Structure 1
Amino acid sequence: MNTVVTSKEEILKKSRELIQKNGWATVNIRSLAAACGVSVGSIYNYFESKSALVSATVESVWEDIFHRPDDVSVFADVLSSVKWMFGRLEYGCERYPGFFTHHSLGFMQQDTEDGKRQMRQAWQHILDELRAVLLRDGKVRPDAFTADLTPDAFAQALFSLMLSAAVRQDFDSSAVLEIVHRTIY
């Protein structure tokens, strides 16, 4: 049997491993307890419900996919950031099959406020970073943004294109990079 899990972080790590091996359907209290080598009650010491476990697992997966790289030069300009994000989307789809299509979009349709809040929070973090890169990128034309095309609006458009790519599992960033280049450089 597996080593006994003694922390919330270890439980989440096991939960991510279950997703990688068997998909999202395996994320439940019983299967996770079995994978961790602990009783069901032990899991409930850390998570009050399956919903809380799934919510924490989703957050953990987002953190794994989009954790800050050691090489912060990927945030030096918009083109580098877009390339990095597309690479992370590809990594996420390979490591967590179905995460973007099945779970992320399905979470928004669920009737759980916590799930919706968590997705908005994860997405807002990505949007905030895109906006920050847009504002500090010295290669952006001074007249690139207008009252209609603001940095916020452009970040939203980029993010929508990335989500669409994730759902289609098309990680070729060249079209998006061309849009960025023609629009703001």
Structure 2
Amino acid sequence: MNHLATSKEDILAASRELIKENGWAAVSIRALASRCSVSSGTIYNYYESKADLLGDTIESIWQEIFFHPEDEQIFHDAAACISWIYERLEYGNRQFPGFFSLHSFSFMREEKNDGKKRMMKTWGHIQNGLCNVLKNDLKIRPDVFDQQFTENQFADILFSLILVAITRQDYDPSSVLMLINKTLY
């Protein structure tokens, strides 16, 4: 359904819809302008280039995938948090087919500095969230973390496993949950 885009948010929403319906190849300034019922020039008023548009679109997709859950308890329980992350990854894969493929990551490399900053910001946010969960989970044995093995290091391990799940499109958290249970509790 075409609608008149009156803001950057409207343009991003239309861009996400194009991706949901037809994949990454569907996103062009012309297709987006048509979807938004505006001229291509209007899109260029908001974005200097297609790369800028794609960068913001990718960032908005990550935000949609990892919206803040209503249940705050997720951020106080490592196992619940990991289950939630995997559920959100599965949602992202369903809603945005191909988003997690290496092809979509190549979009981020087109504008290397900006793309890398955006990806690192998103991934850093996820890693920091994991670290905070590890610090807030009262069920974790008090002797698990010390100066040689910190919450940050374990969050890095968990995040690495999440990245492997993304590339394999394997959204079953059972092996990661087993690792958490055997290591932390």
TM-score tier after normalising by the smaller chain length: over 0.9
In the alignment, the residues of structure 1 paired with residue 176 and residue 104 of structure 2 have an alpha-carbon distance, to the nearest angstrom, of 22
**Displacement after TM superposition at 1:35 (Å):** 1.2
In the alignment, the residues of structure 1 paired with residue 132 and residue 158 of structure 2 have an alpha-carbon distance, to the nearest angstrom, of 13
In the alignment, the residues of structure 2 paired with residue 111 and residue 3 of structure 1 have an alpha-carbon distance, to the nearest angstrom, of 29
Task: State whether residues 104 and 119 of structure 1, in contact with CA within 8 Å, keep that contact through their aligned partners in structure 2.
Answer: no
In the alignment, the residues of structure 1 paired with residue 179 and residue 56 of structure 2 have an alpha-carbon distance, to the nearest angstrom, of 35
Question: Superposition pairs for residues 15-94 of structure 1, below 5 Å?
Answer: 15-94=15-94
User: What secondary structure, in the 3-state scheme, does the structure 1 residue paired with 2:125 have?
Assistant: helix
Partner of 2:11: 11
Q: Once superposed, which parts of structure 1, at least 4 consecutive aligned residues long, lie more than 6 Å away? A: none
What letter is aligned with 1:171?
Y
Indicate the RMSD between aligned Cα atoms, in angstroms. 1.4
Partner of 2:162: 162
User: What secondary structure, in the 3-state scheme, does the structure 1 residue paired with 2:6 have?
Assistant: coil
Task: State whether residues 161 and 176 of structure 1, in contact with CA within 8 Å, keep that contact through their aligned partners in structure 2.
Answer: yes
- CA 1:19–1:160 in structure 2 vs 1: closer, same or farther (change >3 Å)? same
**Displacement after TM superposition at 1:74 (Å):** 1.5
Tell which deviates more after alignment, 106-115 or 171-180: 106-115
Question: Superposition pairs for residues 93-172 of structure 1, below 5 Å?
Answer: 93-107=93-107, 109-110=109-110, 112-172=112-172
What letter is aligned with 2:170?
D
What letter is aligned with 1:118?
R
TM-score, normalised relative to structure 1: 0.95
In the alignment, the residues of structure 2 paired with residue 57 and residue 88 of structure 1 have an alpha-carbon distance, to the nearest angstrom, of 18
In the alignment, the residues of structure 2 paired with residue 107 and residue 132 of structure 1 have an alpha-carbon distance, to the nearest angstrom, of 30
- CA 1:14–1:109 in structure 2 vs 1: closer, same or farther (change >3 Å)? closer
In the alignment, the residues of structure 1 paired with residue 173 and residue 73 of structure 2 have an alpha-carbon distance, to the nearest angstrom, of 18
- CA 1:152–1:108 in structure 2 vs 1: closer, same or farther (change >3 Å)? farther
What letter is aligned with 1:54?
L
- CA 1:104–1:78 in structure 2 vs 1: closer, same or farther (change >3 Å)? farther
In the alignment, the residues of structure 2 paired with residue 104 and residue 31 of structure 1 have an alpha-carbon distance, to the nearest angstrom, of 19
Unaligned 5+ segments in structure 1 are none
What letter is aligned with 2:131?
R
Task: State whether residues 59 and 118 of structure 1, in contact with CA within 8 Å, keep that contact through their aligned partners in structure 2.
Answer: yes
> What is the total number of aligned residue pairs between the two structures?
185
What letter is aligned with 1:161?
L
Task: State whether residues 107 and 116 of structure 1, in contact with CA within 8 Å, keep that contact through their aligned partners in structure 2.
Answer: no
In the alignment, the residues of structure 2 paired with residue 56 and residue 41 of structure 1 have an alpha-carbon distance, to the nearest angstrom, of 18
Task: State whether residues 55 and 108 of structure 2, in contact with CA within 8 Å, keep that contact through their aligned partners in structure 1.
Answer: no
Over the matched positions of the two proteins, sequence identity in percent amounts to 50
Task: State whether residues 5 and 11 of structure 2, in contact with CA within 8 Å, keep that contact through their aligned partners in structure 1.
Answer: yes
In the alignment, the residues of structure 1 paired with residue 106 and residue 149 of structure 2 have an alpha-carbon distance, to the nearest angstrom, of 30
